[in-house]
Structure 1
C-alpha cells in the first residue's frame, strides 16, 4: 500500500532509509541540525571577515546560502535529512517574515507614498506583459510563458502555484517553471547587495531594490540585510505590495479564461494570502497602535536574523544546481531575461521616485 507524499519533503530527493524512520517532530532534528551547522559556520566566517578587514564584505546570510549550495554540490541529502532541511527553509523563514511585522510601523508603509505604491503595481503589470511577450518570442507555450512571467513579476513559486490552476497549466510546465525559479531566485538575492553598492544606494535604496526584484518574500531579508535594518524593513514593505498584487492578477486571469465545472481546483486562498503575510500585517498593526513595546524589539530583531540565517543555509542545501539544466535552455533564457527586465525597471523607478 502506498502512502501520500509528505508535503514537507516534496521537491527534495528521496532515498529509502537504511534504518527505522524517525517519527513526529524528531524527524526534523537531523535537517535542522545540518542547517544550523552551516548557519553557524557562516556566522563565524562573517566575524572572521570583520576581524581581518574591519568589516564583513560578504554578510553571513549570503555566506549561509553559498555554503549550503556548495555542500549540496558534493552531498545529496537523504530522506533522513530532507524533512528538517525543508522545514528550516520554509517554516523558519516564514516565521521570520511574520515576526518582522512587529518591527515595522504603519508610518513606514505610509512613508512609501502613493507614487511608490502605484509604481509597484505598474511594475508588476509591465513585468507580466513583458515576460509573457519574451516567452512567446522564444517559442514557449502560452501557459508556460505566463507562469514564468508571473513568477518573476510577483513572488516566484507562490505566484506560479497560485496562477497554475487559474490558467489550467500542465504539471510539466509548473515543475519546469518552479525548478528554474529556485535557482534564479538565489542569484537575484546574491546580486542585489552588489548592485546596490555599485549604484551607491543608501539603505532605503537597497531595500527598494530588494523589494522590487527579489522573488520570495522571505528572501528579501537576505538581499537587504547587508544594508541594515532600515533596508530590510523597506524591502519587506515594498515586497508586500508586490505580493498583494497576486490576488488581483489571479482574478483578472480567471476572468480572461472562463472555466467550466470539473476543470481543476481554484487557486487556494493561502496562496494569495499566505499565513505569514497575514501575521506580518497583524503585527504591523499592533506595532503602529503602540501595543508592542520598544523593549521587545532588540531581542525580536536578533531572533528574526537568527531564524533567517538558519533558513538561508537550508535554502542553499535545497538548491540543486542541475535544476537549471533540467528546466531547458528556452525557459532559462526567458526567466533570466525577464529578471534582467525587472531589474532595469526597478533601477529606473528608484532613479525617478523621491525617497521616503
Structure 2
C-alpha cells in the first residue's frame, strides 16, 4: 500500500462509516432520510471529535469524486423525457437567474469597494457552481490565489447557510416538486449543497434540483468566455502566458457532466436492463450519502467566522438577492 492510499483511507473510511450510521438511523427516522442525517451528523462530528488534519485528504476525495460519480450514474436513471418536464420555462428561469445573479452580485461588490476581479469571482461562483466555477474563472481574469481563496471561503459560507435554510423556504412557500427543485437547484452554489439541501425535502426534489443545477453547470463555458472578454482590456498577457493558454486544452465541461449526458443519451434511446438501472441507483445512493457525510465533516465553522464583517455582509446581501430573484422568476415563468 503506497503512501497516497494510506493518506486517503482514514478520511474516506470515516465518511463511509458516518454514511452507514446515517442509513441505520434513517430506519427509525425515515421522515428525515439518510442523506439529511449524513450531512448533519458529519457537521456535528467534524466540528467536535474529528477535526484532525490527517482526515482531510480522504474526506476531500469522498466529497468530490464520489459525488461526481453519483451524478454520472444518475444519467442511467434519467432520460430526455425527464428533463423535458422542466420545459422552456425552466430553461428561461435558469438563464435569467444566472444573468441576474451575475449582474447583481457584481454591482453589490463594486458598491462595497471590492475589486473587479473579486466581484466577478463572487458573481460567477454564486451563479454557476461554487468553487469549480471560481477555479475556472480565476485564470481567465488573472485573479490572484489570495483573491480566489477568499472568495471560495465566502461562497462556501453562503452556500452552507442557504443549504440549511432553503428547504424550509421551499416547503413553506411551494408544494409542487418542480417549483421546490427550481428554487434549490437554481440558487445553491455547489452540486453537493444542492443534493444535501434537496435531500431534506424529498427524493424527487433531489432528482429535479440536480437537473436544474446541471443546466447551470453547462452554462459555465459561456460564463467563463464572457468574463474573459469583459476583463480583456484590463489584462496584459505576456507571450509566454498566451502560449501556455493555447497549449493547455481543457474539457469544455466538467467530466462528470459529460458522463451524465452520455448515460442520459444512452438511456433515452436504448432501454437499459432493470438490473443495470437498479444497480446504478443503489451505488449512486451510497456514493451520494457518503459524499454528503464528507461535506459535513469538512465544514469548519471556525474558518467562516474568521472572515471580516465586510465579507460577511457581502455574502448576506448576495444570499438575499438570490432568494428574492429566484422567487420572483419562479412566479414570472410560472414553474
Give your verdict on TM over 0.5: yes
Q: TM-score, normalised by structure 2?
A: 0.90
Match of 2:279 among 296, 299, 306: 299
Q: Deviations over 1:47-73 (max 9, x none)?
A: 2224xxxxx2x3322222222222222
Match of 1:284 among 256, 264, 267: 264
2:332 counterpart of 1:352? yes
C-alpha distance 79-270 of structure 1, shift in aligned 2 (>3 A)? farther
Structure 2, gaps ≥5 residues long:
none
Residue 4 of structure 1 corresponds to none
Residue 163 of structure 1 corresponds to 137
Structure 1, gaps ≥5 residues long:
1-20, 51-55
For 1:201 and 1:257, locate their aligned partners in 2 and report how far apart those are by CA, in whole Å. Answer: 42
Residue 153 of structure 1 corresponds to 127
For 1:151 and 1:75, locate their aligned partners in 2 and report how far apart those are by CA, in whole Å. Answer: 31
Q: CA deviation at 1:306?
A: 1.4
2:255 counterpart of 1:275? yes
Q: CA deviation at 1:326?
A: 3.0
Q: CA deviation at 1:40?
A: 2.3
Aligned-partner SS, 2:75: helix
Aligned-partner SS, 1:74: coil
How does 1:184-223 map onto structure 2 within 5 Å?
Answer: 184-223=158-197
Match of 1:240 among 206, 211, 214: 214
2:33 counterpart of 1:59? yes
C-alpha distance 72-127 of structure 1, shift in aligned 2 (>3 A)? same
Residue 18 of structure 1 corresponds to none
Q: CA deviation at 1:206?
A: 1.9
Residue 76 of structure 2 corresponds to 102
Residue 103 of structure 2 corresponds to 129
The number of aligned residues is: 329
For 2:106 and 2:27, locate their aligned partners in 1 and report how far apart those are by CA, in whole Å. Answer: 44
Q: State whether residues 134 and 152 of structure 2, in contact with CA within 8 Å, keep that contact through their aligned partners in structure 1.
A: yes
User: Cα RMSD over matched residues?
Assistant: 2.3
Q: State whether residues 140 and 331 of structure 1, in contact with CA within 8 Å, keep that contact through their aligned partners in structure 2.
A: no
Q: State whether residues 39 and 196 of structure 2, in contact with CA within 8 Å, keep that contact through their aligned partners in structure 1.
A: no
Q: State whether residues 166 and 197 of structure 2, in contact with CA within 8 Å, keep that contact through their aligned partners in structure 1.
A: yes
Q: CA deviation at 1:174?
A: 0.7
Q: Deviations over 1:202-251 (max 9, x none)?
A: 22222212210121124322222344343222112211111122111111
Q: Deviations over 1:32-55 (max 9, x none)?
A: 2211222223223322224xxxxx
Q: CA deviation at 1:22?
A: 5.8
Residue 329 of structure 1 corresponds to 309
Aligned-partner SS, 1:213: coil
Residue 53 of structure 1 corresponds to none
Match of 1:71 among 27, 45, 60: 45
For 1:340 and 1:272, locate their aligned partners in 2 and report how far apart those are by CA, in whole Å. Answer: 31
C-alpha distance 76-49 of structure 1, shift in aligned 2 (>3 A)? closer
Q: CA deviation at 1:132?
A: 0.8
Residue 316 of structure 1 corresponds to 296
Match of 2:61 among 87, 90, 98: 87
Q: CA deviation at 1:350?
A: 2.1
For 1:269 and 1:23, locate their aligned partners in 2 and report how far apart those are by CA, in whole Å. Answer: 30
C-alpha distance 230-48 of structure 1, shift in aligned 2 (>3 A)? closer
Match of 1:256 among 189, 213, 230: 230
Q: State whether residues 47 and 299 of structure 2, in contact with CA within 8 Å, keep that contact through their aligned partners in structure 1.
A: no
Aligned-partner SS, 2:301: coil
Which structure has more relative contact order (CA 8 Å, sep 6+)? It is 2
C-alpha distance 303-249 of structure 1, shift in aligned 2 (>3 A)? same
